[in-house]
A = this chain, B = another copy of it.
Amino acid sequence: MNIIEPRVLKGFRDFPPAAEIRRRALIERIEASFRSFGFAPIDTPALEYAEILLGKGGGETEKQVYRFTDNGGRDVALRFDLTVPFARFIAAHRAEITLPFKRYHIAKVWRGENTQRGRYREFTQCDVDIVGSNSPASDFEILLVMRETFKAIGAGDVAIRLNHRGLFNRFLATLGLLDKSVDILRLVDKSAKIGRNAVVEQLSGVAGDKAEKILQFIEAKGGFEDVLARLIELSGGPSPESERLADIRTYMLQHAAAADSAGGACILDPSITRGLDYYTGIVYETFLNDMPEIGSICSGGRYDNLASLYSKESVSGVGTSIGLDRLIAALEALGRLEQKTSYARIAVVCLKESDAGAYQAIAGCFRNAGLACEVFFTREKLAKQCMSAEKKGMEWLIIPPEDSPLRGKLVLRNLATRENSAPLSMEEAVSRLKAALEV
């Protein structure tokens, strides 16, 4: 028979135990942080009607989507983000949910992207959103949950670069350029990539002699209050948008004064616009202080009309999305990921294959005490079983009495020192290992 090459699709990945254990550990900590703020999980189908996912007909998106006709003749597609399914979810479940509705969703999404830029075609997003509240307090909570989550996973302090899309639009309106906002946003978004001169030149094509003024706006720098004052001036005086930024700033200062855990900066940065996204209020991008060079690891903002494709009711919300893969790459480079290939740090050795039931009963005592425990299946020399255990990253072996495994005393072998304990009762052995492994 011909052998089929066991390859995976380009841009797709296997996660062997070491990679999956650290991925799961990270997801568990992110989830615990989201839950601590009262966010509840939802899940939605991986596959949806293409019309639902692509309703907006975004050109770039459409090209990247895995879309096909199913066996029932339906035009379907794999989700390419968690935001569009969430919008559909809100419209579908509006009658059952209580607003404000706080949900998280951690799941895979699929995009046929160009893998040459180090992108994957299957990747995991971690989204949190609050919908049904337009309060600046909900904007602040999203910024806070993000900051606390990065701290909880050991990524350290983050710098949040915050802006308000509405304030930028108000400024464009004072220049009479609001109708050109799409083109201008696209250019502003490219500024980090193409450089100031290119932006001035291209902006002049759109905005004429007001190009320089636009650059003054997006280049405003300094402390939060200074920049905010400058933006208020450039956008024609105080406005609901500038007040919202001021409220968020007040909350930050209150929180920093009270919580020991403040840390990390929040910078008012008018060059952050999130391009052509659906945001209408605050927008932000987030950088790790310990590794700013990898770029934004988390971005988001406020939207006013998320579910408008599927519902006449408009629901305002604010949310954020952590790209798990980039985060893992950063934490790996920083040496802050768990390194283990198994949850079991102990194992019962096999002295007699006919005693496998008794060995499992011994292992059960350790498992019941919260210690994951393997049982070796094959009778081999003790030295060989030690080597297997070490190869699996284990720390202790449990050596049962050879003749009557369930009656005599156990010996514990410390694999680091190769030393054996004195014979111990089951209770002694369990408490010895709980202490040694800090369980």
* Chain copies in the assembled complex: 2
Segment at the interface with B among A162-170, A194-202, A352-360 = A352-360
A6 contacts across to B, CB distance below 8 A: 52, 88-89, 91-92, 307, 310-311
**Chain B residue at smallest Cβ distance from A138:** B377
Per-residue B-contact encoding for A12-52, CB less than 8 Å = 1, 0 else: 11111100110110000000000111111111111111011
CB atoms of B353 and A37 under 8 A apart: no
CB atoms of B7 and A23 under 8 A apart: no
Q: Number of A interface residues, CB 8 Å?
A: 120
A64 contacts across to B, CB distance below 8 A: 71
Assembly CA distance A392 to B350 (angstroms): 52
Assembly CA distance A69 to B69 (angstroms): 10
CB atoms of B255 and A358 under 8 A apart: yes
A342 contacts across to B, CB distance below 8 A: 38, 40
CB atoms of B48 and A9 under 8 A apart: yes
CB atoms of B372 and A36 under 8 A apart: yes
Assembly CA distance A12 to B53 (angstroms): 15
A325 to chain B, nearest CB (A): 13
A350 contacts across to B, CB distance below 8 A: 137
Q: A6-B88, A36-B367, A47-B12 are in contact. Are A357 and B140 (CB under 8 A)?
A: yes
A249-267, CB < 8 A from B:
250-255, 257-259, 261
> Is A96 interfacial (CB-CB < 8 Å)?
yes
Assembly CA distance A110 to B313 (angstroms): 33
> Is A58 interfacial (CB-CB < 8 Å)?
no
**Chain B residue at smallest Cβ distance from A121:** B47
Partner of A17, one of B42, B358, B392: B42
Partner of A367, one of B37, B48, B374: B37
> Is A103 interfacial (CB-CB < 8 Å)?
yes
A108 contacts across to B, CB distance below 8 A: 46
CB atoms of B356 and A137 under 8 A apart: yes
User: Top 7 closest A-B pairs, CB basis?
Assistant: A254-B357, A251-B357, A68-B68, A38-B344, A258-B361, A137-B356, A38-B374
10 chain-A/chain-B pairs, Cβ below 8 angstroms: A1-B309, A17-B42, A23-B43, A37-B367, A37-B373, A46-B78, A70-B112, A135-B378, A141-B377, A251-B360
